[in-house]
Amino acid sequence: MLKYTFLFLFFSSQVVCTLYKRDFTSRNYYTLRTSSPKDIDLIQPVLSNLNARFEGQVGELASYYWISVPKESDHLISHFNTLIKRSVPDVDIRPQVPSKRIVKRALSLDKQEMHLRLQETKNALHIADPGFDKQWHLMNTLEFGRDLNVSGVWKQGITGKGSVVAILDDGLDFEHEDLQNNYYAEGSYDFNDHVLEPRPRLSDDVHGTRCAGEIAAAKNDVCGIGVAYDAKVAGIRILSGDITEADEAAALNYKYQENQIYSCSWGPPDLGEVAEGPQGIILDAIKNGVEHGRHGKGSIFVFASGNGGYHDDNCNFDGYTNSIYTVTVGAIDILGNYPPYAEKCAAQFLYTTDVHSRQCSDNHGGTSAAAPLAAGVFALVLSIRPDLSWRDLQHLCVQSAIPISLQDEDWQTLPSGRMFSHKYGYGVLDAYRIVELAKSFQSVGPQVNLETSSANREALQIPDITAKPSRENALRTTLQVTREMAAGLSRTEHVTVTVTIEHDRRGDLEILLVSPNNVTSQLATPRKYDYSRDGLVNWTFMSVKHWDEDPVGVWSLLVIDERNPESRGRLIQWKLTIWGESKKEQKIATQSFLMQTFESMRVDKQRTFVHSVILASIALIIAGSAIFIRKHKLYRRKSYSQSSSGDVFELDNLLECPVASEDEYDEE
């Protein structure tokens, strides 16, 4: 590493310091601001307490200084927050993440360089697929860094070999030249027609094949190439007709010792008017998958966040995407922009590029295309670390994601030092970063949870504040987490809030959770098309925004009603559950993720339910009887965008994955 020694003059004292070349690959950088100019006497003890390296003054700004810490030991923000409370009130620290916020007013060679990089990759890996040049989610020649950054992984020989991804969709064309060699028949089944082969049979049974191509299209001379082009894909057909709850549950666990990852680009309708999710046997199947799938390491469930942005929808009203057991993935476009169809959500981990495919894949995009790309990246990870658990993978997502579009006001720096946005989650998925991190990742300990509730309190009226819209006037209620309650918790992961609310118009409500560290999760947003009078009955919201946050202290729930003075309601009760890693070696907690009850579901007209109430004392059901059978449709996460005309294969518009620096990009 290059070093340059400069002599800095601070008032009458001379300080000799060694400045280092910026290394965003292995170090995180921050700016430190003092209240008075050139206050070196204040800076030195701060650096010592934070174990940070001084990097020099920021240009000509006398109150701003560069400091840095190694990435693998970066707890600077949390350490600083502790320090600031004690003795250093006049210092402020901000993270500095490289981003392209300004551009030259002249033509550049960026596009030429990216095309050269593309050609170099094709030559090095012997890629002859005619559509590869158009797969911008793999290598983006239009906007540098707005792709999966996967070529450096391939160059290490990491291509998904040994991993199996199951596509729960409308079938899979396993005879297609791009998929036939990677088709995994043993993990495939048709739950619509109940036959072994998940062959597409309807005219619109194309969705699953496209998703499979994004993941594992072979490296050949046909169409394009998959993210994990040596992985296997299984087809599980469930979207081509009505399906019972029991069959959906069986599909989610089908061959779950062999099928490692389940890619699910579907869910309740994205119309901004329902609160619906898995319950009963389906919820039990998801839990069973993470507890017993992959021989106890847990099935990896990847869900698309939804395309209901046009309808003000929020993925926290979707019980599949707001589950602690799933990884929720959104989409960005080719330029790294937040698309209008995307849904803001506190339960969202990642964003990835969005794909529009053409001749070989026809029209394919939205978050429907984002989830398979993430599944493909996870297949790369498991190909080198099959021992990782389902929670390990979620930790890797949090730690490797890259924040983008930092000018967006929704980004918040957390006590952990990371950044989070309800639009982008923790940032975009970067294949190179997550694979490199996975190589040495130490698996987390058993899962535990703690909970506290307002069950014994009286119901609270929700004030209508339409005339005076301010959070100060909203309903605020609190719950306390004590140090004793959190004694068995080593680190926080998911936070869930289960509420029962009566209201004349559910779509009027905004619900916020504020942590003891003043971190705010937007659990529910107003939805203009949600006219339901059913309120929310035992509905569970989830947030990943509080990951690694100290849970001890007062948690506040704000219920904001400022849309319609004629619609009123009240909060009946709420429960706070903190999920995380145990401090002690103990059996994984078996408490169920709180179910959304039938009363809280708004059911589409196309769905019919047959319910049987079973008393706890009944231990045996007569063979052949039907219980908890539900005939329903699952909706594909289709995008609202239109693909371009032409005959070029383009499996891309899914997961956006920029990189922190050009030096890190595409390393071998």
Residue 240 scores a pLDDT above 60 = yes
pLDDT in tens, 515-534: 999 999 999 999 989 889 99
What does the pLDDT read at residue 378? Answer: 98
- Give the Å distances, CA to CA, from 320 to 177, 441, 447, 543, 595: 33, 27, 20, 13, 11
Q: Is 559 exposed, middle or buried (0-12, 13-18, 19+ CB in 10 A)?
A: buried
Distance in angstroms (rounded) separating the CA atoms of residues 31 and 428: 23
Proportion of the chain in helix, strand, coil states, percent, rounded to 5: 20, 25, 50
pLDDT tens across 177-191, in order?
Answer: 999 999 999 999 999
Identified catalytic residue from 163, 178, 207, 652:
207
In contact, 361 and 650? CB cutoff 8 Å: yes
Query: Residue 339 is encoded by which pair of tokens?
Result: 């698309």
Q: CA torsion 602→331→418→228, rounded to 10°?
A: 110
Structural domains in the chain, CATH included, are 3-96 (3.30.70), 110-439 (3.40.50.200), 447-586 (2.60.120.260)
Q: Is 240 helix (H, G, I), strand (E, B) or coil?
A: coil
- Average pLDDT of the chain? 78
Percent of the residues in the chain that have a pLDDT greater than 90, as a whole number: 45
pLDDT at 71: 76
- 449: confidence class by pLDDT, cuts 50, 70, 90: very high
Active site residue 36: no
CA–CA dist 191, 646 (Å, integer): 35
Annotated active-site residue in 68, 263, 368, 532: 368
The predicted pLDDT at position 98 comes to: 62
Q: Which residues contact 390 (CB under 8 A, 6 or more apart)?
A: 290, 293, 297, 298, 299, 300, 301, 325
Query: Is residue 168's pLDDT more than 50?
Result: yes
Assigned token pair, 80: 């600083």
What is the rounded distance in angstroms from the CA atom of residue 124 to the CA atom of residue 118? 10
Tens of pLDDT, residues 416-441 = 999 999 988 999 999 999 999 999 99
Q: Quote the crossing angle between the two packed helices 367-384 and 390-400, to the nearest 10°.
A: 110
126 is a catalytic site residue = no
- Confidence band, pLDDT 50/70/90 cuts, at residue 346: low
Contact, 651 vs 147, CB < 8 A? Answer: no
Name the catalytic one among 74, 133, 147, 169.
169
- pLDDT higher than threshold 50 for residue 12: no
Q: Are 293 and 362 in contact (CB under 8 A)?
A: no
**Active-site residue, 515 included:** no
- pLDDT of 150 over the 50 cut: yes
User: What pTM, to 2 d.p., does this model score?
Assistant: 0.75
Calculate mean pLDDT across residues 245-261: 94
Report yes or no: 417 and 75 within 8 Å, Cβ to Cβ.
yes
pLDDT band at 627 (very low <50, low <70, confident <90, very high): very low
